Structure formats: C-alpha cells, structure tokens
Amino acid sequence: MNMNELKEMCLKDTKIDGVDLDGYSISIPEIANKYHQLRHDEKNLLRFLQSQFKVLKLQKWKYYSGKADPSEYEAKPFDLKVLKNDMDLFLDSDEDLLLAKNKIDEQEEKIKLIEDTTRLIQNASFNINNAIKWKKFMSGDLT
C-alpha cells in the first residue's frame, strides 16, 4: 500500500457520520483492530527494509574500501583510494544507499500515520459523546 492509498483510507475511516453516531461507535473496535494489524504488517516491512539497508551498506563499504570482489570493479570501475576518514562521505552520497534510506524513511512515515490514525479512532468515542451532548444541548435538553 502506498502513502496516498493509506492517507485516503485513514481519512475515510476517521470520518464520523453525524447522523449515524451509534453505528460508527459500534464499528470503532473493528476499525482499531484493522489499524493494529496494518501497523504490525508495516513494522515487519520496516524491519526487512532496515536489514536490506545494512547488507547494502556493508557491500558498499567493501566496494569503496577496495575489498569487494574483483568482478564488481569490472562491472563498475572505481579507481579512487578512499581514506578511512572519507568513507562516510562516500557512503552518505551513494545513490543506492540513499534510495534504500528513502524507502526506510517513507515506511517510518507510514507507520507514524497508522499510529496517529489509531489514536484518533480510539478517541472517537470521546468525540461521539461530545457530539451527542451538543445535540442534546441544541434541542433544549440541559441534563
């Protein structure tokens, strides 16, 4: 699921129908469970992406330090001698590592959105209660 699809789903699931307050209230546990499951799945994907990043970073470190397999240098020549102090500069600017890091960052943003949406859904009962009290007040019921 991409970020835009997730945003649309979150918007749809957090919208409270002012006419069907009881129906939404009853569906809160089911919707909350949906987001708990989604968070679990997305966390697993994040762990996988982080593992891939670590493996890729080791491969790139070997490549830039001159310790990689000679066949890698035949496919993609690298004639520089990288000093130990400069290794971070090369790793931080490597396109493959940047792409992998961006995937991790996007996954973390998705998880944050899921967690925030879960909190909104869990607090929906409070908002529904306030809406009911407001409707009573507007109809003249002051109890």
Residues 55-75: tens digit of each pLDDT: 999 999 999 999 999 999 999
Which range (11-15, 93-97, 113-117, 135-139) has the least confidence?
A: 135-139
| Residue 76: per-residue pLDDT | 92
Q: How many whole angstroms separate alpha carbon 95 and alpha carbon 102? A: 10
Residue 143 has pLDDT above 70, yes or no: no
Q: How many whole angstroms separate alpha carbon 39 and alpha carbon 21? A: 26
Which range (20-24, 73-77, 87-91, 138-142) has the least confidence?
A: 138-142
